[in-house]
Structures are given as structure tokens and as C-alpha cells.
Amino acid sequence: MMPTSTKRLWIAFVIFLLMGITFGVGTMVGIALSEKRIVISLKSADNRFEAIVRSGFTFDPPKHSLWLRNVASGEQRLLAHLREGLDSCDVVVWSENGDRVAFLLGFTRLLVYESAGGQQIFEGELVDAAQQAEGMCVRGLEFLPGGDGVRFGITYRDRAGRVSLSSIAF
């Protein structure tokens, strides 16, 4: 007689095998690897929208996508699939009035979107290549009053202290 835990494993294996035969292995893999895992979720201050960063099933490199959800209707809009293995979203910041959302990628690159229609209004590197080579990154990202730009500090990744303060208008 088999122990109960071994029986359960065999039953799970048989069910998995039958599902593979019935639905096809590709479908099962597609279901298992879909972008279900939420990495970051942040609602706007007025609670109208929610910015969501999802990840596909990968350990390394990341496979992130950026989403915007209308809280009242539940409608979700895909804003962008990030470059697999190159980009990952580390920070999400909302403007005070909830009209714009910013996604900081790799602590160096910024994407900004309008919340109402999902249009991208800015994309750019906040830390240039020479600064990145020295190990610098963005910290303290926030929108300027009115949401027409952002301000941030540039610091070393592995050391304390701010090197410079910067801002960008859209």
C-alpha cells in the first residue's frame, strides 16, 4: 500500500498528463507562463486608476509589462511590454491629481503616460551612459506640482549620498 502523499503526487501527475493530452501541451504551458504575477500595484491618490507591473514566468531575465486599470470600471489597458531581459520596472509614481503615471525602469529610464487615455507622453534616459558606467542611478523620483515634469536625485547605487538634483519637464 502506497503512502497518502505518494498517492496524491501520482493523482496530480495523471491529471496533469490528461490535461496535456486533452488541451495540448502548448495551451498548458501558455496558461502556466502567462503574465499573472503582479510585481508592483499602486493606485492614484484620487483612487481612479491603478498602475500595475506584471511579470511573466521567468526567474531571470525579467519579462515585465505595464498596465493601467480603471478602478471604477475594472477595465485594464496594456501600456507596454518591456524589452525582455533588458528592462524591469523598479518604481511607479503618480502625479498629485492622478492624471499621469511614471514608470522608472532599471533606476535609469523613465516612461510617463496619461492615465485617461494611456498615451505615452515621455520616454527617456534620466542617467546618461557615462553615469551608468560609474554605477549611478535615480532615487527620489516625484512629479512636479501640476504633473508637467518630474524631479529626482542621481546617486551611486552602492554608496550613500546624492550627487545631483535634476528635473525634466514634459
- CATH architecture of the domain with residue range 33-169: 6 Propeller (2.120)
Q: Report the helix count and the strand count for the chain, using DSSP H and E.
A: 3, 11
The candidate with the shortest Cα–Cα distance to 32, out of 60, 52, 62, 58, is 58
Name residues whose C-beta falls within 8 Å of residue 91's C-beta, 6 or more positions apart in sequence: 102, 103, 104, 107, 141
User: Average pLDDT of the chain?
Assistant: 84
C-beta separation of 94 from 135 below 8 A: no
- Within 8 A by CB and 6+ apart from 6, the residues are none
- The residue that leads in pLDDT, 113 or 1, is 113
Share of the chain above pLDDT 70, in %: 77
pLDDT(106) > 70: yes
The one-letter amino acid at 34:
S
Residue spans of the domains in the chain: they are 1-30, 33-169
Residues whose CB falls within 8 Å of the CB of residue 62, separated by 6 or more in sequence, listed in order? 55, 82, 84, 85, 87, 88
Burial 151-166 (b: 16+ CB within 10 A, else e): ebebbeeeeeeeeeee
Work out whether strand 100-105 and strand 89-94 pair parallel, antiparallel, or are unpaired. antiparallel
Question: Which of 44-53, 56-65, 94-103, 115-124 is predicted least confidently?
Answer: 56-65
pLDDT digits (tens, 9 = 90+) for 70-80: 999 999 999 99
- 56: how many CB neighbours lie within 10 A of its CB? 15
